[in-house]
A and B are shown apart, each in its own frame.
Chain A
Amino acid sequence: MKKLLVFAAITLMVMANVFAGGSGETSEATADSPVTLKVANYALLESGYEDFWAGVKEGFEAKYPQYKIEWVTAPYGEILNQVINMAGGGDRVDVIFGEESWVPQLYSSGLAAPVTSIVDEAFVSDFDPAVMDVFTIDGDIYGIPLYVSPFILYYNTELFEQAGLDPANPPKTYDEMLAAAEKLSQLTDANGNKVYAFGQTTASVVVSGNALISMIYNFGGNVFTEDGQLDVDNEGFRQAFEMLQLLDEKGYNPQNAKLKDLRNLFALGQLAMYYDQSWGFNGVSSINPDAASFTASAAPLAGGNGTGEAVLCSHCFIVVDNGEARNAATNAFVQYVISEEVLNDYMTNITPAYPAKNSMADMEAVVNSGVLKGASESISNVRKVPYVSAMSDISLDLCTLAQAVTVSDTPVDEAIDAFVRSASVKL
C-alpha cells in the first residue's frame, strides 16, 4: 500500500510538470527562457523563399531575444491540414502564413482569432480599410496582409511588337484583347512552337477558382450574395464563361492549365498575355531570368457591363490565440515582418507586390517596379468575396464549370446548372 501511494505521488508530480508546460503560458519571456512562437509556413519548402524566411528568423530572434521561432512546414497543399491536425491534438500554432482564401476555413474551424485581439490596434489601423474589408467576417478582422495584388494582366512586350501591336497600349477590355489575340495567335516562337494569345487558369486547384471569380468580377458578375448564398443568375457570371468558351474555340487559351503552366509558357515566350497574382512573376523569372526585359503589367480587362473589378489576393498572417505570452510574441512577429525594413528587398527581388500598409505605399520596391507599374491603378478596383465557409470546394466546382465549357464543349447554360447543383449543397 505504501509503495502504491509513493508511486501515485510520483505520477502526480510528473503529470503536474508535464501539463504545466501547456499552451496557456503566462509567465514573462526572457532571453534565458524564451517563448517559442510556432509559425506555420509552407514557403520554406518552396525554392527561392528559404533565404528570406531564414533571414526573418535570424533578424527577429536577434531583435527579440526573448522569443524563438519554430517553423511548422508542409507543402502548400497540405499545410492547412497539418495545422488543423495539430490543433486537433492540442498543439496549436501561433501564426499561419497563408492566403486570404484560407481565412474562411480557419475562421469556421474556430482556429483564427480576431487580429485586433492580438496585434496592436495602432498597427492595424495603418492598413488600407478597403483591403482589411477582405479579411473581415462579422465585424472582426481575421487576417493581416504582408502585401496584396489583384489578378493582373501580364503581357509580353516583345510579342506585342512582333505582332504589330503597341506595347505601351495594352488592351483594356475583353474586346480589345480579342482583337490583339487574333494577331498574337499568328506568331510562333524561335523553335516554331505555337504562341498562345491569352492565358486564364482553369485547372482543378483552388487558386484557379479564385482567378475565375476575379474574371467574373471583370464582367461585373456575382458568384455569391453578401450573406454568402449562391448568386449566379446574372449576365456577368454567364459572360465570363462564354468568354472562356470563345477563347478555347479559338485556341487562344492553353487548356486546363495551372498558374505554374501559364508562368512556364510566358517565361518561354509561348504566351502573350495572362492573368496572375503579381508575385507570380517570381515563377516566371525563376524560369527565365531575363523575363523583366519583356514583361509588363496592365489592369484587369473590363467585359460586358463590368469595369474590370478583380479579386484582391494577398499573402497574409492568420493569428491564433494561445495565451498572453505567446500572443505578445505573435504581436511582435507580425509587426516585425510587415515593415518596410524587412519586406523591401523581398518585394524588390523576389515577390513583386503592392503594400497594404499606408505607411509603406511609397517604398522603393513599389515605386521603382517596372513590372508592376502598369497595373498599379487596379489596386483600387477590387471587390470582396463574401464569406463562404466552403469556399475552397466551391472554387474547385468553378474550375469544373470552366473545364466543362472548354475541354468538354458543354453548353454554358447546362454547365452552369451542373455547377449550381453541386455548389448549392455545400452552402
Chain B
Amino acid sequence: MRSLSKKKGDMYYAVMLTIPALVLALLFIFIPIVDSVIKSFQEYKVRNIIAGLPGEWNDFENYKNIFISGSLPTAIANTFTFVVIVILCQFILGMALALVLNSNVRFARFFRSIMMTPWVVPTVISALIWMWLFQPQYGLVKYFVQLFSGGEVTDFAMLNNPDTALMGVSIAALWKQIPLMTLLLLAGLQNVPQDILEAATIDGAGSLRKFFSITLPYLSPVVKVSISMSIIENFKQFPLFWTMTGGGPDGATTNLAILSYREAFVSMNMGSGAAVTTIWMALMIITIGVYNKLFRTQDMS
C-alpha cells in the first residue's frame, strides 16, 4: 500500500475532522434556510404541514400582503431603533463599568460576580420582572415617578404609551445584556499592555488621550466581536417583546420577530411568516456586512 505524503495526509485528516461540522451545518442551517426562502414564495399553511402537502407558488402574494398591510415598514423601523438604542447604551454603560472594575476598585471581584446575575436570569423571567416593575397601577417604577415628581405624575405607564413602550423594552434588554458586554470588555481591557500605557503616561499623555489612542485601539477586536454579537442578539429579540407588550400598544413594539411569529403562528400562514423571515435575514446580513466594513479592526502588533 502506497503511503500518503505528510502534507496530503494532514489535508485528508483536516477534511475528515471538518466533515461532521459541514454536514450538521448543511442539515440544520443551510437546508432550512433555503427551504424557508422557497416557502416564502408559496401558499403554505398549517394544513400543508399536517396533510404533508407541498406548497404552491402564489405569485409573490406573501410579500405583497405584508407590504400592503403596512406592518412591515413599522416592524423594520422598530427593529432598527431598538438595535441602535440598545447597542449604543449597552456599549457606553458596559465600557464605563468595565473601566471601573479594571481600576483596582475595592470589592471588584465581588461586584463582577453580582453584576452577572441579570445575565443568568432567563429572558422570559426578566420580561416578567420588568412587566411588574412597569405595571401602571402598582408598579415600582410608577411609585418612584410619583414620589420624585412630588405627586405631579400619577399615571406613569411606560409600556402603555406608544412613545415610551420601546424604551421600556430596551431598558429590560439593557439590564439583561450589559453584564456580558462588561465582562467581554473587561477581558479585553486586561490585555491592554501596561508598558505602553506607562510609556504614554511618562510622555505626558492624559487619561482621555491614553483611552482613545491606546486602550480603544487595543480593545477594537473585542469591541467588534461583542457588538456583532449584540447586533444579532437584538435583531432577533423576541421573548422580551412578546412577553412584555405582545407588539403593542398600537404596534409601537412590533419588531420583525413579532411580525414573523404573528404571520406564521397566529395567522398559521407559514408562507407569509417565511416571507418576513427572509426579509429579516437579508436585513441582518446587510447590517452585519456594513458593520464589518465600517469597523475593520486594526492590527496592533
Does A425 have its Cβ within 8 Å of any Cβ on chain B? yes
Does B245 have its Cβ within 8 Å of any Cβ on chain A? yes
Residue of A nearest to B51 (CB): A110
Contact status A393-B262, CB under 8 Å:
yes
Contact status B137-A193, CB under 8 Å:
yes
Residue of A nearest to B267 (CB): A393
Contact status A392-B267, CB under 8 Å:
yes
Shortest CB distance A266–B (Å): 12
Contact status B50-A422, CB under 8 Å:
no
Contact status B70-A422, CB under 8 Å:
yes
Contact status B249-A204, CB under 8 Å:
yes
Given contacts A396-B262, A422-B71, contact A87 B248 (CB under 8 A): no
Contact status B69-A204, CB under 8 Å:
no
Given contacts A205-B246, A408-B250, contact A88 B50 (CB under 8 A): yes
Residue of B nearest to A256 (CB): B160
Does A407 have its Cβ within 8 Å of any Cβ on chain B? yes
Given contacts A109-B50, A407-B249, contact A390 B137 (CB under 8 A): no
Given contacts A254-B137, A255-B160, contact A426 B248 (CB under 8 A): no
Contact status A410-B250, CB under 8 Å:
yes
Does A399 have its Cβ within 8 Å of any Cβ on chain B? yes
Does B39 have its Cβ within 8 Å of any Cβ on chain A? no
Does A111 have its Cβ within 8 Å of any Cβ on chain B? yes
Chain A positions 81 through 104: 1 when the CB is less than 8 Å from some CB of chain B, otherwise 0: 100100110000000000000000
Contacts of A407 in B (CB 8 A): 160-162, 249-250
Inter-chain CA distance A143–B47, complex, in Å, is 18
Shortest CB distance A255–B (Å): 5
B65-97 contacts to A (CB < 8 Å): 65, 68-71
Contact status A87-B50, CB under 8 Å:
yes
Contacts of A206 in B (CB 8 A): 266
Does A277 have its Cβ within 8 Å of any Cβ on chain B? no
Contacts of A301 in B (CB 8 A): none
Contact status A399-B136, CB under 8 Å:
no
| Contact for B266 among A84, A255, A393, A403, CB less than 8 A | A393
Main SS class of interface, B: loop
Does A270 have its Cβ within 8 Å of any Cβ on chain B? yes
Contacts of B162 in A (CB 8 A): 403, 407-408
Contact status A390-B160, CB under 8 Å:
no
Chain A positions 401 through 424: 1 when the CB is less than 8 Å from some CB of chain B, otherwise 0: 001100110100000001001100
Contact status A422-B69, CB under 8 Å:
yes
Contact status B248-A203, CB under 8 Å:
yes
| Contact for A425 among B68, B159, B265, CB less than 8 A | B68
| Contact for B49 among A84, A204, A392, CB less than 8 A | A84
Inter-chain CA distance A62–B162, complex, in Å, is 54
| Contact for B157 among A105, A108, A255, A421, CB less than 8 A | A255
Q: Interface size bucket, B side?
A: 35 or more
Contact status B68-A421, CB under 8 Å:
yes
Chain A positions 249 through 262: 1 when the CB is less than 8 Å from some CB of chain B, otherwise 0: 00100111000010
Chain B positions 250 through 280: 1 when the CB is less than 8 Å from some CB of chain A, otherwise 0: 1100000000001101111100000000000
Does B45 have its Cβ within 8 Å of any Cβ on chain A? yes
Inter-chain CA distance A390–B154, complex, in Å, is 39
| Contact for B69 among A110, A255, A421, CB less than 8 A | A421
Contacts of B248 in A (CB 8 A): 203-204, 256, 399-400, 403
Residue of B nearest to A423 (CB): B69
Shortest CB distance A190–B (Å): 14
Shortest CB distance B130–A (Å): 15
Chain B positions 236 through 248: 1 when the CB is less than 8 Å from some CB of chain A, otherwise 0: 0000000001111
Does A40 have its Cβ within 8 Å of any Cβ on chain B? no
B108-157 contacts to A (CB < 8 Å): 136-138, 154-155, 157
Shortest CB distance A188–B (Å): 12
Does B33 have its Cβ within 8 Å of any Cβ on chain A? no
Contact status A84-B246, CB under 8 Å:
no
A360-405 contacts to B (CB < 8 Å): 389-390, 392-393, 396, 399-400, 403-404
Contact status A403-B137, CB under 8 Å:
no
Chain B positions 143 through 184: 1 when the CB is less than 8 Å from some CB of chain A, otherwise 0: 000000000001101011110000000000000000000000
Does B46 have its Cβ within 8 Å of any Cβ on chain A? yes
Inter-chain CA distance A396–B267, complex, in Å, is 10
| Contact for B245 among A87, A204, A265, CB less than 8 A | A204
Contacts of B70 in A (CB 8 A): 418, 421-422
Shortest CB distance A389–B (Å): 8
Residue of B nearest to A401 (CB): B250
Inter-chain CA distance A84–B268, complex, in Å, is 10
Shortest CB distance B146–A (Å): 11
Given contacts A400-B251, A407-B249, contact A111 B50 (CB under 8 A): yes
Shortest CB distance A395–B (Å): 9
Binding site for A on B (CB under 8 A): 45-47, 49-51, 65, 68-71, 136-138, 154-155, 157, 159-162, 245-251, 262-263, 265-269
26 interchain pairs (CB within 8 A)?
A: A81-B265, A84-B49, A87-B49, A105-B268, A108-B46, A110-B51, A194-B154, A203-B248, A204-B247, A204-B249, A254-B137, A255-B160, A256-B159, A265-B137, A389-B268, A393-B262, A393-B266, A393-B267, A400-B250, A410-B250, A421-B68, A421-B70, A425-B68, A425-B69, A426-B65, A426-B69
Closest 9 CB pairs of A and B: A204-B246, A204-B248, A109-B46, A88-B49, A393-B267, A403-B250, A425-B65, A403-B249, A256-B160
Binding site for B on A (CB under 8 A): 81, 84, 87-88, 105, 108-111, 193-194, 203-206, 251, 254-256, 261, 265, 270, 389-390, 392-393, 396, 399-400, 403-404, 407-408, 410, 418, 421-422, 425-426
Beyond A110-B46, A110-B47, A390-B269, list 11 extra A-B contacts (CB 8 Å).
Answer: A193-B138, A203-B246, A255-B157, A255-B249, A270-B137, A389-B268, A390-B268, A392-B267, A393-B266, A403-B162, A407-B162
